[in-house]
A and B are shown apart, each in its own frame.
Chain A
C-alpha cells in the first residue's frame, strides 16, 4: 500500500553502501606523502589520493547523491500519500518521517560540503550519521511508519514550517557532531605522530574545527527560529506561546547549550579539542531532545 516505504528502504541500503565506500576510501592505498602542515590551505586533498582512492571516492559520492535523490523521491511520494489519506502533505508528520527528513537534510548538507570544500573524508562520519538516522527510522514498528491521519492539534499549516525548520537545525547539529568526532580521531593521530594512510585524506585540524563551528552557526539561529515558530503555533493551538512542555523545554535546553558554545568560541582556548567534545555532547543532547523526550517523558508533543 505504501510505495514510499519501498523507496525509504532503498535509501537505507544506498546510504549503507555509501558509508561503506567512504570508509573504504579512507583505507585505500595512497602514494606516500606527509601529512599536510597545520593551516595549509585545503583543496588539494584530492591530489593526494591514489588511483584506488580516487575511484572509490567518486563512486562513494555518486552513491550518496543517488541515495539522496531516492530519499527525496521517498519523501515526495510520502507527501502524495499524505495528501490522499490525511489532508496535509508535510512528509515529516510522525517520528518515522521526521527521521527520514533529518537524514535527507544531513546528506544534503554533506553533499553541499563535499562539493564546496572537496573533502571526502568527512563522508565516513557525516554520511554515517545520516545512515544511522535512516536506519533508526526503519527499525520503528510498522504502525509508526505509515501515514496515519494527523490528530487535530497537528493538523495545521504550522507543521510545514515549524517541524521542517527545527529538524533542519538538528541536521546541522548532527553534522557538527560528526565533524567533532572526526576532529578527535585526527587529533589522536596527530598527537601520536601517526603516519597511517588512513588519516591522509583528513583535512587539517583547523579546517575540521572551523567547519564544525560553521555547522553550529547555521543550526543555532535555525533552532531559535524553529522554537519561535513552535511558540507561535502553540499560541494558536494550546492557548499560550510557552507552557514548559518537556519537548519545548528540551529544545530550549539544547539551544542554551549551543548558546554557551557560540559564546565560548569568542574566548580563547575554546577552539579545537574542547569545541569538538562539546559539539559531540551537544549532538547527544539533540538526540535526547528528538528521541528521548518522546519515549521517556510525557507531554504535549508525545504524538507519534
Chain B
C-alpha cells in the first residue's frame, strides 16, 4: 500500500535474488496471497454466509426430527455436509483457521514497517520519493531555508505531529508523523483473532460442560474437581404480579470433608470453585423421589377410611390404632413397566402417572409391597390384607438443574477480546499520517517540496494536506 520507502529498503536488504521462480519469489508470492485483503474479504463473506446455515437448520437435533422436517434425502445431504452441526465441521473450522493464517501473515508482512517507523523514522528521502506521493505540493518561498524550516516545524507541531528535521549541505528535510497507533491498533486486532481462536480450542479440548440434576439436601461428588457439593436449598422468588423474579440454590462446597464455601447461586450469579463453575440452569420436580405422601387406609369390609397417614420418604411409620406399619420405598412420576427386565421406571420426567411403592407390614402376618397409583386408586388389591390403600396426595421434591463447566481457555479468550476491542477502536479513530518536506534552494529564496501519505481516510487527509499547504503558504509569505 503506501509503504513505498520501507518496501524499497526491504528490496535492497534482501540482496540480489536468484533468477526465475526461486524459492524467495515463491515464498513472497505465498506470503502475498495469505496476507492479501482479498482473502480477508473472501473469508469474512464466506464465514458470514455459512454461519447462517446453523441459524436456519436446527443444530444437534435427533435424526428423526430432520427426516420429519426435511425428508430423508435432504437429511443424508445434511450429514454429508455437516449441516446438523455446522460450527464444528472440518470446513467451518478450517475457514476460521484460514482467517487466523490470513491475519497472522498480514501481521508478519506489514507490522515490521510499522515497528520501524515507531522506533526510528527515515527522515532523509529522495526528491523523487516526495514527488511520487499521492498528496504533494511544490511551493516557492522567498525566504531563507532556516526560517522556512522553523515555521514548518512549528506548523506541524501545532497540528500535533511529531517532527524531525535534518539539515544537509544545501537542503533541509523535515519529517512529520502522527497517529501511528492507528496502525498498531489494526495489527493488535489482527493478532486477537488467533488469540481468541486458540482460547476457544483450549476450552473445547481441555474444558467440559455438563448438566446435573441435584436434589435438595443431597451431596454430590464432583470427580473433575475432587470435591463434594451439597445442595442446601432450592427456591423461587416471585414478583408482585406473580412472574418469576429469580431461581436460587444454596450450595456448599465440601473439600476434603470440610465445608469450605457456601453460596446462593442465581441465574446470573454462578458459584466458582477450583475453576469449576456451577450455574443455576433449570429446576423441576424430581421424578424418582418425593418428600412426603398422604395415604388413606380403608377397611375392606366396611369400605370406610379408618386412618390417614403422612409418610416421609423411606421412613417406616406405625399407624396409630391399627395393627399396621407402612413405609414408602419408591416413587415414579410417570409409571411404566419393563416386562423383560421386570422393572418399574418413570417413562418421562413429567408427573403424568405418579405412583409410590409401599412396604406394608400387618402385624407380621401379611407383608406386601404394592404399587399404589395417584390417578387410579382401585387398580390393585392386596390379597389377604384387611386394608385398601389410597395414594391421595404428595409433596414433590424439587431438584435444581446445575450446569457444571470448566473452561481453561476463557482467560485467553478475554485477552483476545480486549485486544480486539482496543485494536479496533484505535484503528477506527486514529489514522497514520506522514509528511515529508524538502527545502531546496530555488531561483528566489527556496523551493519547498511537500508530500504526504496515509494508509486510510484519504479524503480527510487530502483536506488536511490542502489546509496545511495553504497555511504554510500564508505563514511563510507574511
Interface residues of A, Cβ cutoff 8 Å to B: 39, 41, 86-87, 148-149, 151-153, 155-156, 158, 206-207, 209-210, 217-218, 220-221, 224-225, 228, 231-233, 235-242, 244, 246, 249-250, 252-253, 256-257, 259-260, 263-267, 293, 297, 299
Q: In the complex where A151-B244, A228-B421 touch, is A239 in contact with B405 (Cβ < 8 A)? A: yes
Least CB distance from A106 to B in Å reads: 19
CB closest residue in chain B, given A297: B55
Known: A158-B268, A256-B45, A263-B44; 8 extra A-B contacts, CB below 8 A, are A152-B245, A156-B268, A225-B421, A228-B421, A240-B407, A256-B48, A259-B44, A265-B456
Decide yes or no whether B3 CB sits under 8 A from chain A: no
Interface residues of B, Cβ cutoff 8 Å to A: 1, 37-38, 40-41, 44-45, 47-48, 51-52, 54-56, 59, 87, 200, 209, 239, 241, 243-247, 266-270, 277, 279, 281, 403, 405, 407, 410, 413-414, 417, 420-421, 424-425, 428-429, 455-457, 459-460, 462-463
Q: Is the CB of B41 within 8 A of A260?
A: yes
Closest 7 CB pairs of A and B: A239-B403, A260-B44, A221-B424, A156-B268, A256-B48, A246-B55, A152-B267
Q: Write out the residue numbers on chain B whose beta carbons fall within 8 Å of the beta carbon of A241.
A: 407, 410, 413
Q: Write out the residue numbers on chain B whose beta carbons fall within 8 Å of the beta carbon of A297.
A: 55-56
8 CB-based A-B contacts, threshold 8 Å: A149-B241, A152-B266, A158-B268, A218-B428, A233-B268, A235-B410, A242-B200, A260-B45
Q: In the complex where A149-B239, A217-B428, A220-B424 touch, is A238 in contact with B279 (Cβ < 8 A)? A: yes
CB closest residue in chain A, given B39: A263
Cβ-neighbour of A249 out of B54, B245, B457, B459 (below 8 A) = B54
Q: Write out the residue numbers on chain A whose beta carbons fall within 8 Å of the beta carbon of B55.
A: 246, 249-250, 293, 297, 299
Q: Is the CB of A249 within 8 A of B51?
A: yes
Q: Is the CB of B1 within 8 A of A266?
A: yes
Q: Is the CB of A149 within 8 A of B245?
A: yes
Cβ-neighbour of B269 out of A87, A236, A263 (below 8 A) = A236
Q: Is the CB of B44 within 8 A of A152?
A: no
Q: Write out the residue numbers on chain B whose beta carbons fall within 8 Å of the beta carbon of A293.
A: 55
Q: Write out the residue numbers on chain A whose beta carbons fall within 8 Å of the beta carbon of B268.
A: 152-153, 155-156, 158, 233, 236-237
Assembly CA distance A297 to B38 (angstroms) = 32
Q: Is the CB of B243 within 8 A of A266?
A: no
Least CB distance from A168 to B in Å reads: 14
Q: Write out the residue numbers on chain B whose beta carbons fall within 8 Å of the beta carbon of A41.
A: 463
